[in-house]
Structure 1
Amino acid sequence: MATRLGLGLPQMRQYSIGTDVPEVASAAERIGYDSLWVFERALFPEPATQGLYGIAGLPWPDEYRHVADPLVTLTLAAAATRRAELGSSVLVAPLHLPFQLAKALATLDAASGGRVIAGFGSGWSLDEYAASGVRPFEERGAVLDEVIEVCRAVWGPDPVVHDGKLASIASAVVGPKPARPIPVLLAAGSKRAFRRLVDHADGWLPTSLRAEQVAAQWRELRETAEARGRTEPIRTVLRVNTARQAEPYEGTGRRPFQGSVDQIVADLVDYAEIGLDEVIVDLQGSARDARELADVAAELFEKARAAGV
């Protein structure tokens, strides 16, 4: 069975969000992509108080200076499509008030006919946490737990009841309800995060580490699930942030998914052998505009399917 393929939607500075998101979303669905995805970067601190991913000295990419809101972007895509799933990889859940986030996702799922995938992560930016004002960075794990709890409650049958630190719902009718149970996927790479995923989520959002690292994490996650008695399948969706260029990357030191479309497809073949359900390909950073993004997405999809992905 072929690996499902998703496409990252245009959210960066070079795109006109109101026109380019619907255009790319519609084109991707026609091409054959199974899903459309967004990511979240709330701000670009200048000067940065910490490096990218919290790594000292690692600069933030310039593309992060301008990233459109993920839920607004998905809403635009939903209105322009009928089949493709609509996911976040990832939405930094602790930056959002749990009740409002749960209701927004439920409304989007109802409006799109049951196509939303709630992909959550805990984030890493101290500046984003300070700006959101929900809870301090040190509490991000507990906040993520409550976000999931509130979402499950709000999306479930009425009356909705929840008693937590961030939200208290004594007994209420909350609508609209999702068209179907919204799957919750989590970004996870540590033992603690794997336990949270196994106990509370429907799937895993790995990042594009080297193929052998992703394979090792996938084995560890399955072992954790077995040890904790989980029998439900875990959906797996890998996000690939490409560094595409017109000509092949020459010489040593090429990173995975860096280079020409042919080189990116060759990497996809290697990662498909891990046995993950789906791969999201984000091509937006290297495209000049929506037309080029759609054209490259079509070329990559055709070549990936021809290669057996």
Structure 2
Amino acid sequence: MIKLGMSLPQLHWYDLRTDITATAQAFEEIGLDSAWAFERLLVPEDQSGGHGLYGMPDVPWPEYYRNSPDPLAVLTAAGAVTSRLELGTNVLVAPLHLPVVLANSLASIDRIIGGRLIAGLGTGWSIDEYDASAPRPFAERGAALDEFLDVAEAVWGPDPVKFRNERYTISPSTVGPKPARPIPVVLGGGRGKALDRIARRADGWLPTNLTPAQIGAQLAQLREKAAEYGRDPGAVTCITQVIKRDFSRVTTAGREPYAGDFEQFTEDVAALAEHGVDHVFLASSSAARDRAELVDWAAQFHGAVRAAGL
């Protein structure tokens, strides 16, 4: 059975004090398997040149990115009022953080919520966020992600922890708490070095809005490469995010993937499962008017997919 999830309400028109916890509880009661939060550190006023959305020249950032709360705080709040729901980041920009501090934060949260954290990580795309926070420059973002994974492997492992590279030294030390379970690390991207990184060391792949056929083709490449590294190809999972803001029925021929109402979208979920996806979640909080509408969509999503036997 494919796992189902939804994004949490962490945008500026939601009431952070009440909506995050109430929505997480509702998601769990509905029967969803997961809830998700994203990281957005800032929105630059100057969005010209390479400072636009996704680093594209002069492409404006969405207004809903303004005032986005820390995803780890969001997930901790959600975890405090739930007992079963897995809680994931999509994505946490690991290179914006000091590696040891982030590894400790993730382990602490996993302990607090009882072993339900999914660490969805990426390198990000905002030069402005790197300038504001990152220990290493934007040009080194891939190497910085690898460095975090190295540090996390050490910190989450047995004591005494010992680590050394050209930037950081952990003398033999007790570092805790340890995660309640091995934290699943799923990575975004899917081409070139990113594909190689996933195949070599990640628990899973985290694509966004690729079609079922595109996911199937890239997942086959990914698992083949994982086998070349001596890994079990089937151990590399696929969790896909679908950004969906319109749930009206498509009545014309040639419906695009992920368009349409929940009944039509269920056909896409079936196709995703056929192409090897283990877990799909909707990022729809930016389209919902309020918590009630977001929860209603979650109920319709879960109901339609499970009624289809998926």
TM-score bracket relative to the smaller structure: over 0.9
Bigger mean CA deviation after superposition, 260-269 or 184-193: 260-269
Counterpart of 1:294, as a letter, is V
- Give secondary structure in 2 for the equivalent of 1:18: coil
Provide the residue aligned with 2:34 in structure 1: 35
Bigger mean CA deviation after superposition, 71-80 or 217-226: 217-226
Give the % identical residues. 48
Structure 2 unaligned segments of length 5 or more: list them: none
Task: Indicate if the aligned counterparts of 1:237 and 1:276 stay in contact, CA closer than 8 A.
Answer: yes
Return the alpha-carbon distance in structure 2 between the equivalents of residues 264 and 254 of structure 1: 10
Bigger mean CA deviation after superposition, 251-260 or 139-148: 251-260
Provide the residue aligned with 2:44 in structure 1: 45
Counterpart of 2:205, as a letter, is W
Bigger mean CA deviation after superposition, 164-173 or 104-113: 164-173
User: 1:56, CA displacement in angstroms?
Assistant: 3.3
Provide the residue aligned with 2:172 in structure 1: 171
Structure 2 residue 155 is matched with structure 1 residue 154: yes
Counterpart of 1:16, as a letter, is D
Provide the residue aligned with 2:4 in structure 1: 5
- Give secondary structure in 1 for the equivalent of 2:170: strand
Deviations 1:84-136 (A, max 9, x none): 11111111110111111011111111111111111110111111111114211
Return the alpha-carbon distance in structure 2 between the equivalents of residues 256 and 45 of structure 1: 32
- Give secondary structure in 1 for the equivalent of 2:296: helix
Return the alpha-carbon distance in structure 2 between the equivalents of residues 162 and 68 of structure 1: 32
- Give secondary structure in 2 for the equivalent of 1:243: coil
Return the alpha-carbon distance in structure 1 between the equivalents of residues 168 and 34 of structure 2: 32
Structure 2 residue 252 is matched with structure 1 residue 272: no
- Give secondary structure in 2 for the equivalent of 1:217: helix
Provide the residue aligned with 1:141 in structure 2: 142
Return the alpha-carbon distance in structure 2 between the equivalents of residues 105 and 48 of structure 1: 32
User: 1:63, CA displacement in angstroms?
Assistant: 1.7
Return the alpha-carbon distance in structure 1 between the equivalents of residues 250 and 56 of structure 2: 26
Task: Indicate if the aligned counterparts of 2:47 and 2:59 stay in contact, CA closer than 8 A.
Answer: no
Task: Indicate if the aligned counterparts of 1:244 and 1:261 stay in contact, CA closer than 8 A.
Answer: no
Provide the residue aligned with 2:20 in structure 1: 21
Return the alpha-carbon distance in structure 1 between the equivalents of residues 136 and 4 of structure 2: 35
Counterpart of 1:95, as a letter, is L
User: 1:193, CA displacement in angstroms?
Assistant: 1.3
Provide the residue aligned with 1:89 in structure 2: 90
Provide the residue aligned with 2:127 in structure 1: 126
User: 1:209, CA displacement in angstroms?
Assistant: 1.4
Return the alpha-carbon distance in structure 1 between the equivalents of residues 125 and 250 of structure 2: 31
Change over 3 Å in CA distance of 1:307–1:79 after alignment to 2: same
Structure 2 residue 238 is matched with structure 1 residue 239: no
> What is the TM-score of this pair, normalised by structure 2?
0.93
Counterpart of 1:266, as a letter, is E
User: 1:244, CA displacement in angstroms?
Assistant: 2.1
Alignment of 1:177-196 (within 5 A): 177-196=178-197
Provide the residue aligned with 1:70 in structure 2: 71
Which 4+ residue blocks in structure 1 deviate beyond 4 angstroms?
Answer: 249-255
Change over 3 Å in CA distance of 1:249–1:44 after alignment to 2: farther
User: 1:164, CA displacement in angstroms?
Assistant: 2.3
Return the alpha-carbon distance in structure 1 between the equivalents of residues 88 and 65 of structure 2: 19
Provide the residue aligned with 2:208 in structure 1: 207
- Give secondary structure in 2 for the equivalent of 1:16: coil
Counterpart of 1:264, as a letter, is F
- Taking only aligned residues, the RMSD between alpha carbons, in angstroms, comes to 1.8
Bigger mean CA deviation after superposition, 95-104 or 219-228: 219-228
Bigger mean CA deviation after superposition, 211-220 or 96-105: 211-220
User: 1:158, CA displacement in angstroms?
Assistant: 0.8
Return the alpha-carbon distance in structure 2 between the equivalents of residues 182 and 27 of structure 1: 24
Structure 1 unaligned segments of length 5 or more: list them: none
Return the alpha-carbon distance in structure 1 between the equivalents of residues 31 and 201 of structure 2: 31
Matched residues, number: 307
Return the alpha-carbon distance in structure 2 between the equivalents of residues 82 and 156 of structure 1: 25
Return the alpha-carbon distance in structure 2 between the equivalents of residues 120 and 249 of structure 1: 34
Return the alpha-carbon distance in structure 2 between the equivalents of residues 226 and 191 of structure 1: 17
Deviations 1:189-220 (A, max 9, x none): 11311211122221111111122211111111
User: 1:184, CA displacement in angstroms?
Assistant: 1.1
Bigger mean CA deviation after superposition, 226-235 or 190-199: 226-235
Bigger mean CA deviation after superposition, 175-184 or 260-269: 260-269
